[in-house]
Structure 1
Amino acid sequence: MHIDRAVAAASAGSAQAAPIAVRLPPLRFNYNVLIKLSFFLFVVCGAIALVEPSPYDFASFLTIGLWFLGGFRVHRFILAFLALIFVYNFGGFVALLPYLNEPDPTLFMLQSLYLAITAVFFALFFAENTLARAELCLKAYAFSTVVAAACGILGYFNIGGTEDLFSKYGRASGTFKDPNVLGSYLIMGALYFIQSLILRRTRHLLLTLSALFIVVAGIFLSFSRGSWGAFIVAALMTMVFAFHSNRDARVRRRIVVMAAVAVGVALIGIVLLLSIDSTREFFLQRASVTQEYDEGETGRFGNQLRSLPMLLDRLNGFGPLRFRLIFDLDPHNSYINSFASYGWLGGSAFLLMVGLTIFIGFRLALARSPYARIAHVYWPALFVFLMQGFQIDIDHWRHVYLMLGAVWGIETARIRWLERPAWVERPVGLRQSSGRLPSR
């Protein structure tokens, strides 16, 4: 009995003296998951533009750096885009040379170069693993639009004393400094929700309808005439593309019914907002075709007309940010600004890049391919921005460069699919084992 206790005590003592070694599993990380998380954060941060540099800029360095370390491929089709965006910025730096001692023009061109780099990244990024990455981007972007629109609504109605933070000039600005940028930013999120509804790609119908309601309300309360028109055109394009790409009569009927539901939700939201007297009065004021600052020889349109003969005599334009020094206003026209700030070299490259983008955008949206559905969101959103460029400066909008790179990257994937249809990732919902679409 005493011997057993002694043995037990000795065993306990030896256990304390020699603790059992525990083997921990080696630390591991999944590179692809890390890229997805950083990319999701990168896109979401695009909705935050109250400070400069914005969180989007910091997230871009992280995401692009991680992606670069993993390696990438450059398809020959995308070389045209790379060349044009390079020449566009090169022309701007040539026009900058006489004003290198001025900080604002120099910063303007450095920002242009940075945005061009992000567009190249998006083009190369979407050219690989296209369906998964494009869908991830849309989800992140749509989420960010709900947040931005909700902040704009809070600011417009001064809920929680947020008027000074989330509204400007009596208009919802949300997480942006300019209500016009908020209204335009929200468009692609609204298109994503509309497509999810008309194609029944959502498991949570009421949640999607609520999100669409919030985003459309944000667009309306931005009181941006350009955003109103752009949203209507882009929404119609998305619905027409969906109807055109589906041959089944039942699917087409469902698209029509759900499109009517989506339009109804949007109209209900607008009618409710117009029932508020102050909102209705401001709407009637903003709904006019032109405003006071648009008219006259020294108004927006007058300045644009007066600048044209002056630019004909200046090969390098006025120089970056010099238009405002001559006319006391920014050009509010990205096409005139491309020649005024980037010279004839940069302006010509910009026009050619826009023209080619419009060609490949419609080809991508109308051709039958595994990438048509995602193109029906990206392309209408980008197209209306390119049209908005005639009445506002879009050349430094971060989300425009996202969409520009995305359209070129998705079209690159489609070209590769045409070259090797059996190679491409299989899209969800297609049963063909070869990866081909019927009647291609």
Structure 2
Amino acid sequence: MSTVEATYPRVAQPQRMTLRLIGSAFVAFGVFLSGFVIDEPAPYELWMAGLIGLWFILGLKISRGVAPLLALLLTFNIGGMLSLTQMKDLATAPMYIAVSTFLALTAVFYAAIIEDSHKRLPLIFNAWIFAAVATSALGILGYFHAFPGAQIFTLYDRAKGAFQDPNVFGPFLVPPSLYLVHGILVGDLKKSPLKAAALLVLALGIFLSFSRAAWGLFALGVGLLIFIMLLKERSGAFRLRVLVLSLAAIIMLIASLLVALQVPKVAELFSARAQLVQQYDGEHLGRFERHRIGFTMMMERPLGIGPLVFGTMFPEDEHNIWLKSLTSYGWLGFVSYVGMLIWTLALGFRYLLLDRPWQPFLMVAWISVLGHAAIGNVIDIDHWRHVYLLLGTVWGCAALEARHRRSRRPREAAQPISSHPPSDRQ
């Protein structure tokens, strides 16, 4: 048993262990359901609501390490509740804030169960891979009209899988893709073909989503992942393996892309979507002008204007998480959201290169949070279920590290101090 494993003793109670195993399986199923969000509230919300309540009834605790995440996310949603007071017609706005609050609680829940046992991390990420492969396959089959009615999994000739929007579908596939890339680079080569096949399905789904945000997130994520792995591992043989396998994966992905581009429909849409600035970005009242007008308007509206109101005033919604925080959650929500994001990135960065059982999951989640913060400049991510899973993963891993360090102090203090000077030998 490793030193880290030894710091987490478990009470040998068959009933308790059985409940924990069942509870972990239910968590994995909840993660799987996050890949199927066609409407709100989705089955994911219904399942997770019951699951969160059950876990806390059975004694799940929120530690000091996770409490700041709870406080910041609740403050964010209190800002949203205050913004409701600025609306004349509430319509569906209360439901919007209710979903936001619930999703915030899922982040805290994930952090708490990960801190309770780091062994849940592989279960969570493997469930995410299964969900991603399933919804990506639906998007691919829908794009090519593989069966009658398959177009339900597309929108505007773009794959969307079992999501409402291709711009959510694509980014959802990126974190499990990074986890697969990591597994290929460090895992058993005998299992690499299966992981490579799953990665190809996800990469094709990301490509056919024709989401520039997803494309950028995938490229940034893979680049950062390889860089951090090379930074962490000092072995020349390991670095050579990472470089060779990375090069092989890049060649494979480029070859797959070239094959896909042989389809005229794919090539035409790719040519249009590959432009950095689309017509709807730079035109009158386009995305960038709406951002400018919106930020100026919010300087005079400290409580915001209410959820979903911006889209009734302009041709489209905010498509910017910072502006969305101001309009739908007010200044209070904006400050708490920015503070939460900075704290999350700083916390993850602090422990990013430590040799721990949970380090691969922290690395994938931290890179993904950073990437989602970047694409938040052009898209709203406050209702993306997987973003809250990523936040919970980073905070859960940080809480694991804090717990591990606390457990080491008594042992280190109990060790006798040698009266002899330390040797120069290593």
Q: TM-score, normalised by structure 2?
A: 0.89
Counterpart contact for 1:154–1:162, Cα < 8 Å? no
State the secondary structure of the residue aligned to 2:41: coil
Who is 1:300 aligned against? Answer: 287
**Among candidates 124, 146, 152, match of residue 137 of structure 1:** 124
**Among candidates 365, 373, 377, match of residue 386 of structure 1:** 373
Counterpart contact for 2:361–2:393, Cα < 8 Å? no
State the secondary structure of the residue aligned to 2:65: helix
1:104 correspondence with 2:92: yes
Counterpart contact for 1:338–1:346, Cα < 8 Å? yes
1:391 positional shift:
0.5
1:28 positional shift:
11
Counterpart contact for 2:230–2:239, Cα < 8 Å? yes
1:412 correspondence with 2:396: no
**Among candidates 28, 33, 37, match of residue 21 of structure 2:** 33
Counterpart contact for 1:417–1:423, Cα < 8 Å? no
Counterpart contact for 1:219–1:228, Cα < 8 Å? yes
Cα distance in 2, alignment partners of residues 403 and 44 from structure 1: 14
Output the amino acid matched with 1:61: A
Larger radius of gyration: 1
Matches within 5 A, 1:178-189: 178-189=165-176
Cα distance in 1, alignment partners of residues 60 and 343 from structure 2: 24
Who is 1:351 aligned against? Answer: 338
Output the amino acid matched with 2:74: F
Who is 2:257 aligned against? Answer: 270
State the secondary structure of the residue aligned to 2:147: helix
Q: Relative contact order: is structure 1 or structure 2 higher (C-alpha 8 Å, sep ≥ 6)?
A: 2
Where structure 2 has 5 or more consecutive residues not aligned to the other structure, the ranges are 1-14, 412-426
1:316 correspondence with 2:303: yes
Where structure 1 has 5 or more consecutive residues not aligned to the other structure, the ranges are 1-26, 425-440
Output the amino acid matched with 2:31: V
Cα distance in 2, alignment partners of residues 368 and 352 from structure 1: 28
1:101 positional shift:
5.2
Cα distance in 1, alignment partners of residues 16 and 237 from structure 2: 49
Output the amino acid matched with 2:207: F
1:346 positional shift:
1.0
1:111 positional shift:
1.0
1:148 correspondence with 2:122: no
1:271 positional shift:
1.3
Coordinate RMSD, CA, aligned: 2.1
Comparing 96-105 with 205-214, which one deviates more in the overlay? 96-105
Counterpart contact for 2:87–2:305, Cα < 8 Å? no
Who is 2:227 aligned against? Answer: 240
1:371 correspondence with 2:361: no
State the secondary structure of the residue aligned to 2:304: coil
Cα distance in 1, alignment partners of residues 339 and 383 from structure 2: 18
Output the amino acid matched with 1:406: T
Counterpart contact for 1:150–1:218, Cα < 8 Å? yes
Q: TM-score, normalised by structure 1?
A: 0.86
Output the amino acid matched with 1:59: W
Who is 2:40 aligned against? Answer: 52
- CA separation of 1:315 and 1:231: change in aligned 2, threshold 3 A: same
Residue correspondences, number: 398
Deviations 1:373-407 (A, max 9, x none): 22121111221111111110001111111111111
1:29 positional shift:
8.6
Output the amino acid matched with 2:98: L
**Among candidates 183, 200, 217, match of residue 230 of structure 1:** 217
State the secondary structure of the residue aligned to 1:374: helix
Comparing 373-382 with 186-195, which one deviates more in the overlay? 373-382
Equivalent pairs: percent with the same residue? 32
